Chains A and B, each alone.
Chain A
């Protein structure tokens, strides 16, 4: 039962993320979407380096380890 509730929470969070992106598209990008968030995350060299290391870790964690 607990597992089902947690999985539903994950599902709701993913749907909410999709809705946020949809709201951004429908507003003509006046409201931030996921792409805008990622652009902000890589807006300086330091942030770019951190995000790059994070991206590498993601691949290593899920596909190699």
Chain B
């Protein structure tokens, strides 16, 4: 596939994901409609996941010719950042149990505040779809 076709495909997929996300963002959580929007979004990613499953070895690949396995030494910064994110999420969750959630916002509570804007919620939905696409296209 040429670079131009790849770019065009990316634009079409992005617009479709955002459009669907905007549609889905109009649904109210805890309703059958919201459940349906999410369930329908599972389908194309499940197909990708099944294809990736077929193409993936049963045991983990530990490295490849172009790049060896991740190591604590070389990839320290990324690993520290990911660990910090996990500690922050767990720490704020535990600290906010009870009535202190406002003072100790977690990812979920920050999202809840941002998702009041439909355009932002649509962007989050599209990002979630993009994550699924990126994770499972083999």
Q: List residues of A whose CB falls within 8 A of some B CB.
A: 2-3, 6-7, 9-10, 13, 16-17, 19-20, 23-24, 29-38, 40-49, 51-52, 55-56, 58-65
Instruction: Given A17-B85, A45-B53, check contact A64 B135 (CB 8 Å).
Output: no
Chain B residues within 8 Å of chain A by Cβ, number: 52
Contact present for B78 and A33 (CB under 8 Å):
yes
- A3, A23, A38, A46: the one contacting B102 at CB < 8 Å is A3
The chain A residue sitting closest to B21, CB to CB, is: A63
Q: Which 7 A-B pairs have the closest CB atoms?
A: A44-B60, A32-B75, A2-B103, A20-B78, A64-B38, A43-B60, A64-B34
Contact present for A62 and B124 (CB under 8 Å):
yes
Smallest Cβ distance from B77 to chain A, in angstroms? 5
B134 at the A interface (CB under 8 A): yes
B102-130 interface bits toward A, Cβ cutoff 8 Å, 1 = contact, 0 = none: 11110110110001000001001100100
Contact present for B58 and A55 (CB under 8 Å):
no
